[in-house]
A = this chain, B = another copy of it.
């Protein structure tokens, strides 16, 4: 009706610079946290002047939530693909392997979330209570089903999921500690994947 609504089409430059900014923001926010990071740092990191950066994102917080949203979806993909029709031990093994590889290949995203949650999850609180809870409840029900069928050792499925999250992300979030204690051997992540899958499989396979 009436005049055509102004469509917010994105310029080439706009898309390009926003991409640049989000990449730099992930770098800086994951390393220093929200308060520890400065707009100057992000601007310098992507070769833009500070006012220019603030032309694309008016406030520091806008950059932060943008980069959070930008990575949240990918981060939950492995859990989403946990398949009720699959073989339980296989499904969970695949989940653990995918998750630890994700931590290895994208430790900055892991640290970004860890920092956000550690400091109260003020920016993603609603997401946790909404979509995340829904997803986890759905998958927890699947696991409960497998347990009821006797195809898995009994365990509270929520705690199982927390345990998988905690153990896999540990290698990204606590990297300096892991390195210091192990001396950082080249096959660290491979042995971690092996140890974790064995531990969970042995713990979950019915005797």
List chain A positions with a Cβ less than 8 A from chain B.
31-36, 111, 114-115, 117-121, 125, 128-129, 132-133, 136-137, 153-156, 158-160, 162-163, 165-167, 169-171, 173-174, 176-178, 180-183, 191-192, 194-196, 198-204, 207
Among A119, A132, A154, residue most surrounded by chain B Cβ atoms (within 10 Å)? A119
In the complex, how many angstroms separate the beta carbon of A156 from the nearest chain B beta carbon?
A: 4
- With A111-B118, A117-B176, A118-B114 in contact, is A163–B159 under 8 Å at CB? no
Closest 5 CB pairs of A and B: A203-B203, A128-B180, A159-B195, A166-B170, A35-B36
* 20 residue pairs bridging A and B, Cβ less than 8 Å apart: A32-B35, A32-B119, A33-B33, A36-B119, A125-B176, A125-B180, A128-B180, A133-B181, A136-B181, A153-B202, A155-B195, A156-B195, A158-B181, A159-B199, A162-B170, A163-B199, A166-B166, A166-B174, A199-B203, A203-B203
Residues of B within 8 A of A201 (CB): 203
Bound: A183/B201 CA distance, A: 28
Bound: A169/B128 CA distance, A: 19
- Decide: A159 and B196 in contact? CB cutoff 8 A: yes
| Number of this chain's copies in the complex | 2
- Decide: A159 and B203 in contact? CB cutoff 8 A: no
Residues of B within 8 A of A169 (CB): 166
In the complex, given contacts A132-B181, A163-B195, what are 10 additional A-B residue pairs having Cβ atoms less than 8 angstroms apart? A33-B119, A125-B176, A153-B198, A154-B198, A159-B199, A162-B170, A167-B167, A199-B200, A199-B203, A202-B202
Residues of B within 8 A of A204 (CB): 199, 202-203
In the complex, how many angstroms separate the beta carbon of A124 from the nearest chain B beta carbon?
A: 9
In the complex, how many angstroms separate the beta carbon of A185 from the nearest chain B beta carbon?
A: 10
